[in-house]
């Protein structure tokens, strides 16, 4: 758990703002538990018995034809585009029965982030092939050079020396061959021991068949890797017998097996419902053999895309190269579920002889257990940063407004702040995600609030001025425990911060205006259990984040372990229309998109709140105003930067 830092910054002890309760208690019934077991048999597929826990199924994102309104009602929407092309619905549908909000140019301008990566204009989705080469971090990404909506997918390219300040480079790959004419889709980079770089990516052929293709840099001595060559013998992998032509994509970074050959995993499905990762073996990256069985398969999870597979050290503080094997290592298997648009992961054991992976806990298997991020987040990908011995995670965050709005403002989607990933050896069940240390270089003036008592049912304004770009560290302590509470408590995030219980919710209100007509609560919700212990959820409530009706607004969150020697701590990165929230040192993470109409520019404020019915909480915070990052085209004509490139 990160500790609160000492600071010489100004401290404040704000007077408690006693307001009528912001929220009103509402009850809803818990969803029932259902279980089933499925046995799958095939010469290609693993025989397994997997127990599914239906109430842990993620709620749909972009593919869900519904939008949650402030009142909790649902409205039918147009089917998202992309389905006809045989890929994920990559765009947010317009809402038929919602009147479009009268957005102003000033509102659209405010929504653009200040220190998250996004293109200058147009559409972006999945991160592709991240790597570190000759002093530069490279990020490739799915990009539409022609429009702010999905289509004509090429590979955009950007570089950075610190993962925060970025230079746009020319397009890396365009769909110009029969094997990728319908799109250069998601792929991964592998750095070979001799310094070569190979890039495997999915192409959609002229017949819309998904195949795997090989590309490599034209000049390895170029630190910017400006030119990429496609292998003349592409495609190198085609859908095996029994696999649907349009459900076979997104090759992983390769790892080296004990037999000296390389392996990659590719996502697919079997019998339309069994999410599956196939393993292929190669010695030269141009010829591949499908191995017997599967790396792993989970019934009921549907198509797996953007599969990621990597090792973590169970007693380490650094990341591991993808090829690392041996004692003291667990393996993470992550899949992006096409049916629900949610990234799930599980921790388990990889058998390097049989090339099979087994989850530590079958009830927390891929697709039915832990999520990488519980909010608006998808298609994540990691890479090993050999310069700092760490594993870095990227994730795509799309918009929740309408396509018409995206077309009007001229851009859509961002990438999260890169996150470091470690195994949580305190719980043994979770990963820890944390913003890379470089983001702290953007911190400006800091303000500290110590031991602020937030009474039950109250809101406390925090006087920090404009609250549009922030880095917040907050720690909460429940003042007293209420024993044997018999209050009927909703056993999850409920309907949001409106659902009161004995111990919560409590947390911060970000991107709020003075009148609290718009606000986004980030909060903890501890709940009594039948054995007298507390079970805690970490949540984000977007339902009152905007007065605009044509914006999707949801309550996100998940269970978070809080150990006996720990307080409730969170870190929240606020950057205009995106809020990234890290609970418990990064055990549970939530990304939110918010589109306020009034809580913008100088009107954006920050508050503490406590909507518990029975206890006070004490809060200590350190809050930094965040500078903007420079994200702009590479200055090829500037001598200074030419010298910088030459020196690396």
109-162 confidence digits (pLDDT tens): 999 999 999 999 999 999 999 999 999 999 999 999 999 999 999 999 999 999
Single out the residue of 258, 282, 257, 66 nearest to residue 266, CA to CA. 282
pLDDT tens string 222-276: 999 999 999 999 999 999 999 999 999 999 999 999 999 999 999 999 999 999 9
Q: Is residue 641 part of a domain?
A: no
Whole-angstrom distance, CA of residue 137 vs CA of residue 379: 19
CATH number of the domain that 164 lies in? 2.115.10.20
pLDDT tens string 398-431: 999 999 999 999 999 999 999 999 999 999 999 9
pLDDT at 483: 61
Q: Is residue 337 part of a domain?
A: yes
Domain's final residue, options 435, 461, 480? 435
* N-terminal to C-terminal alpha carbon distance within the chain: 36
Is 641 in a helix, a strand, or coil?
helix
* Same-domain check for residues 348 and 495: no
Domain's final residue, options 418, 435, 452? 435
* Same-domain check for residues 263 and 407: yes
pLDDT at 64: 30
* Same-domain check for residues 423 and 462: no
Whole-angstrom distance, CA of residue 365 vs CA of residue 371: 10
Residue 259: which domain range? Answer: 123-435
* Same-domain check for residues 481 and 340: no
Higher pLDDT, 433 or 489: 433
Q: Which of 13, 97, 126, 287 is catalytic?
A: 126
How many independent structural domains does the chain possess? 2
pLDDT at 614: 85
**Residues near 368 by beta carbon (within 8 Å), at least 6 away in sequence:** 52, 53, 56, 57, 298, 300, 301, 344
Domain's final residue, options 416, 435, 454? 435
* Same-domain check for residues 257 and 360: yes
Q: Is residue 98 part of a domain?
A: no
Q: Between vectors from CA 569 to CA 607 and to CA 486, what angle results, nearest 5°?
A: 85
Single out the residue of 346, 450, 286, 478 nearest to residue 53, CA to CA. 346
pLDDT at 86: 46
Q: Is residue 85 part of a domain?
A: no
pLDDT tens string 525-571: 999 887 778 899 999 999 999 999 999 999 999 999 999 999 999 99
Whole-angstrom distance, CA of residue 333 vs CA of residue 484: 40
* Same-domain check for residues 416 and 339: yes
Cα distances from 252 to residues 55, 128, 243, in angstroms, run 29, 10, 18
pLDDT at 43: 31
Q: Is 292 a catalytic residue?
A: no
pLDDT grade for 90, boundaries at 50, 70 and 90: low
pLDDT at 62: 31
pLDDT surpassing 50 at residue 73 = no
Q: Is residue 81 part of a domain?
A: no
* Same-domain check for residues 142 and 287: yes
* Same-domain check for residues 252 and 282: yes
pLDDT grade for 488, boundaries at 50, 70 and 90: low
Single out the residue of 494, 556, 527, 538 nearest to residue 28, CA to CA. 494
pLDDT surpassing 60 at residue 44 = no
* Same-domain check for residues 429 and 450: no
Per the structure block, which two tokens stand in for 94?
């317009």
Whole-angstrom distance, CA of residue 648 vs CA of residue 640: 13
pLDDT surpassing 60 at residue 1 = no
* Same-domain check for residues 468 and 447: yes
State what percent of residues in the chain have pLDDT above 70. Answer: 82
pLDDT surpassing 90 at residue 217 = yes
pLDDT at 531: 77
Is 356 in a helix, a strand, or coil?
strand
pLDDT at 413: 97
Of 97-106, 268-277, 319-328, the least confident: 97-106
């Amino acid at each position: 758990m990160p500790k609160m830092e000492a600071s010489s910054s100004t401290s404040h002890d704000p007077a408690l703002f006693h307001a009528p309760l912001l929220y009103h208690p509402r009850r809803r019934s818990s969803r029932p538990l259902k279980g089933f077991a499925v046995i799958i048999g095939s010469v290609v597929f693993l025989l397994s018995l997997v127990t599914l826990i239906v109430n842990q199924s993620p709620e749909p994102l972009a593919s869900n034809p519904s939008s949650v309104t402030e009142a909790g009602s649902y409205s039918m929407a147009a089917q998202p585009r992309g389905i006809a092309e045989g890929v994920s619905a990559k765009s947010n549908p317009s809402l038929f029965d919602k009147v479009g909000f009268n957005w102003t140019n000033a509102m659209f301008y405010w929504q653009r982030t200040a220190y998250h990566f996004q293109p200058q204009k147009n559409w972006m989705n999945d991160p592709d092939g991240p790597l570190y080469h000759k002093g530069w971090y490279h990020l490739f990404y799915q990009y539409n050079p022609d429009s702010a909506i999905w289509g004509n997918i090429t590979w955009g390219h950007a570089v950075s020396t610190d993962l925060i300040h970025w230079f746009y480079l020319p397009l890396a790959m365009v769909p110009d061959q029969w094997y990728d004419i319908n799109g250069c889709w998601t792929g991964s980079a592998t750095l070979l021991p001799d310094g070569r770089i190979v890039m495997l990516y999915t192409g959609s052929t002229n017949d819309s068949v998904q195949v795997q293709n090989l590309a490599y840099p034209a000049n390895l001595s170029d630190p910017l890797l400006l030119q990429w060559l496609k292998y003349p013998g592409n495609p190198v992998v085609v859908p095996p017998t029994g696999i649907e032509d349009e459900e076979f994509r997104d090759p992983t970074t390769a790892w080296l097996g004990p037999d000296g050959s390389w392996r990659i995993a590719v996502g697919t499905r079997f019998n339309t419902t069994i999410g599956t990762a196939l393993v292929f073996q190669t010695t030269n990256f141009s010829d591949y053999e499908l191995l017997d069985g599967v790396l792993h398969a989970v019934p009921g999870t549907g198509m797996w895309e953007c599969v990621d597979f990597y090792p973590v050290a169970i007693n380490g503080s650094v990341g591991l190269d993808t090829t690392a094997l041996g004692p003291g290592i667990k393996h993470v298997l992550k899949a992006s579920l096409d049916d629900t648009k949610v990234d799930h992961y599980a921790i388990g054991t990889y058998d390097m002889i049989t090339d099979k992976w087994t989850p530590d806990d079958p009830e927390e298997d891929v697709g039915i257990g832990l999520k990488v991020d519980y909010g608006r987040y998808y298609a994540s990908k990691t890479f090993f940063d050999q310069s700092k011995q760490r594993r870095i995670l990227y994730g795509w965050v799309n918009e929740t407004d309408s396509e018409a709005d995206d077309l009007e403002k001229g851009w859509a989607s961002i990438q999260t702040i890169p996150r470091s990933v470690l195994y949580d050896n305190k719980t043994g069940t979770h990963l820890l995600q944390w913003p890379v240390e470089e983001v702290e270089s953007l911190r400006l003036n800091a303000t500290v609030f110590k031991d602020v008592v937030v009474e039950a049912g109250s809101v406390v304004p925090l006087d920090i001025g404009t609250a549009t770009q922030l880095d917040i560290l907050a720690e909460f302590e429940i003042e007293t425990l209420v024993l044997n509470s018999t209050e009927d408590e909703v056993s999850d995030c409920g309907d949001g911060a409106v659902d009161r219980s004995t111990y919560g919710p409590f947390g911060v209100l970000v991107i709020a205006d003075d009148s609290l007509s718009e606000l986004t609560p980030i909060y903890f919700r501890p709940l009594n259990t039948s054995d007298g212990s507390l079970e805690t959820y970490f949540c984000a409530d977007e339902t009152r984040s905007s007065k605009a009706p044509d914006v999707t607004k949801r309550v996100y969150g998940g269970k978070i372990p809080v150990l006996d020697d720990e307080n409730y701590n969170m870190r929240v990165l606020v950057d205009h229309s995106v809020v990234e929230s890290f609970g418990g040192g990064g055990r549970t993470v939530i990304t939110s998109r918010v589109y306020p109409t009034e809580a913008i520019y100088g009107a954006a404020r920050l508050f503490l709140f406590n909507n518990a019915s029975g206890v006070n909480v004490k809060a200590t915070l350190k809050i930094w105003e965040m500078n903007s990052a420079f994200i702009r085209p590479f200055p090829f004509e500037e001598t200074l930067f030419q010298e910088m490139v030459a020196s690396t």
